[in-house]
Copies of this chain bind each other. A is one copy, B any other.
Amino acid sequence: MAAIAEIRIDLFRMPLPQPVEAYAAGVMSGFDMVVARIRDADGVEGVGYTVMHEGQGPAVAAVADGPLRAVLAGEDADLIEGLWRRMYRTCHYCGRGGPVAFALAALDVALWDLKGRRLGAPLWRLLGGFDPKVRVYAGNIDLNFPLEKLLDGGMASVEAGFRAVKMRLGRPTLAEDVRRAAAMRDHLPDDVEMMADANEAWRVDQAVRAMRALAPLDLVWLEEPIAPDDLAGYAHLRSLGLIPLAAGENLHTVPEFAALIRAGGVDFPEPDLTTCGGITPFMKVARLAEANGLPVISHGAHDVHVHLLAACPNAAYLEWHAFGLDRVMAEPLTISEGACTAPDRPGHGIDFDWERLAAHRVG
């Protein structure tokens, strides 16, 4: 029994080093981060975080600090499946998505981290343990960059050790997208893989044309060509066999992933623990993908996801998160020959630099 003695929720507003753009998000110059700290009666503390677009943090913090905190107070921190279900159900009527899934994530990660720290076990071993070395790709956010800066960003990733680089699509014309993607493919070394992410820029008919035009580039995947909840659209696009499809950062529940996979709409399920309710549902999606003969990839939060993918036989790629939280963490992950290694420190092994963070606290 590890009774939950203290729960602390903080909201931070973090600036980005430079404004970056993705189609659905638009130009971002900063982001919100909600951090949950859960301390048990023995004084052991677990930490979880989730990030979202600027201005959306207050709702997430309100859910975490209100109804979810009320579920957890005084309970046995070890019974995560039970606590997760109670948190989910408490917010069911006004949940199943958006701020609730993010708030759940922060607390669920804190509970898993706490469990790992109590046991002295790193998450990747706790979750099953497969291979601590995980292939990584650079999830560059660069839709607003002029061509030269776009290409420089791709090469900077290669120089940083990546062997796979993603760029964004969704410029005003398909012709421009194809030109930029072809230029990137030409610019990157032949043995560096390339992905593209449209962030929902297109209708289904536009996506078909885009996929025909991009197919010669031999992308590892095309991500989110259309809206995330158009199951029939995904199934149609995938049936064409032109480019493998990735999707999932905008799915907030396990049943949403189950529906997309059942519809035959995805090659690379891409859950994000910060948007789908935490480690508990992420692992269910990863296992669901495996059972369906599919790989699993992650979105964002590479410092935690590296542990999860290191526990999955079907792990394909870890996205290296462009938001740069490394600058407020001790011992950030490093990249070597296109891979990251999950640390063997207890829990997720992330220690925030609270003093540096304090300057960004807004709630």
Min C-beta distance of A54 to chain B, whole Å: 9
Tell me which of A90-98, A115-123, A288-296 binds B.
Answer: A90-98
Chain B's closest residue to A32 (CB) is B94
A–B Cβ pairs within 8 angstroms, 28 of them: A24-B89, A52-B94, A53-B93, A56-B63, A56-B67, A58-B62, A58-B66, A59-B59, A59-B99, A59-B100, A60-B94, A63-B99, A91-B98, A92-B250, A95-B97, A95-B99, A96-B98, A96-B228, A97-B98, A97-B252, A98-B99, A98-B100, A99-B99, A227-B255, A229-B255, A229-B256, A231-B259, A232-B262
Q: Which residues 49-98 of A sit at the B interface, judged by CB distance below 8 A? A: 52-53, 55-56, 58-60, 62-63, 66-67, 70, 89, 91-98
Chain B's closest residue to A66 (CB) is B55
Q: Taking the complex as formed, is A218 at the interface, i.e. its CB lies under 8 A from any CB of chain B?
A: no
Does B56 contact A94, Cβ atoms closer than 8 Å?
A: yes
Does B89 contact A94, Cβ atoms closer than 8 Å?
A: no
Does B67 contact A250, Cβ atoms closer than 8 Å?
A: no
Min C-beta distance of A259 to chain B, whole Å: 6
Min C-beta distance of A160 to chain B, whole Å: 26
Residues of B near A252 (CB, < 8 A) are 96-97
A221-257 Cβ-contact flags toward B at 8 Å (1 or 0): 0000001111110000000000000000110110110
Residues of B near A101 (CB, < 8 A) are 97-98
Residues of B near A91 (CB, < 8 A) are 56, 98
A103-117 Cβ-contact flags toward B at 8 Å (1 or 0): 000000000000000
Does B255 contact A52, Cβ atoms closer than 8 Å?
A: no
Chain B's closest residue to A100 (CB) is B98
Q: Taking the complex as formed, is A157 at the interface, i.e. its CB lies under 8 A from any CB of chain B?
A: no
Does B93 contact A250, Cβ atoms closer than 8 Å?
A: yes
Q: Taking the complex as formed, is A1 at the interface, i.e. its CB lies under 8 A from any CB of chain B?
A: no
Q: Taking the complex as formed, is A280 at the interface, i.e. its CB lies under 8 A from any CB of chain B?
A: no
Q: In the complex, which of the residues A62, A89, A259 has the most CB atoms of chain B within 10 Å of its own CB atom? A: A62
| Copies of the chain in the assembly | 2
Q: Which of A's residues lie within 8 Å of B, judged by CB?
A: 24-25, 52-53, 55-56, 58-60, 62-63, 66-67, 70, 89, 91-102, 227-232, 249-250, 252-253, 255-256, 259, 262, 275
Does B94 contact A99, Cβ atoms closer than 8 Å?
A: yes
Min C-beta distance of A323 to chain B, whole Å: 12
Task: Report the separation of the CA atoms of residues A72 and B312 in the bound assembly, to the nearest whole angstrom.
Answer: 45
Task: Report the separation of the CA atoms of residues A355 and B64 in the bound assembly, to the nearest whole angstrom.
Answer: 32
Task: Report the separation of the CA atoms of residues A93 and B23 in the bound assembly, to the nearest whole angstrom.
Answer: 11
Chain B's closest residue to A63 (CB) is B59
Contacts A55-B66, A98-B100 known; A275 to B93 CB distance under 8 Å? Answer: yes
Contacts A58-B62, A63-B59, A66-B59 known; A94 to B231 CB distance under 8 Å? Answer: no
Task: Report the separation of the CA atoms of residues A25 and B93 in the bound assembly, to the nearest whole angstrom.
Answer: 7
Task: Report the separation of the CA atoms of residues A314 and B318 in the bound assembly, to the nearest whole angstrom.
Answer: 49
Min C-beta distance of A355 to chain B, whole Å: 28
Give the contacting residue for A94; candidates B53, B66, B262; CB below 8 A: B53
Min C-beta distance of A106 to chain B, whole Å: 12
Q: Which 7 A-B pairs have the closest CB atoms?
A: A97-B97, A229-B255, A95-B98, A59-B62, A56-B94, A58-B62, A52-B94
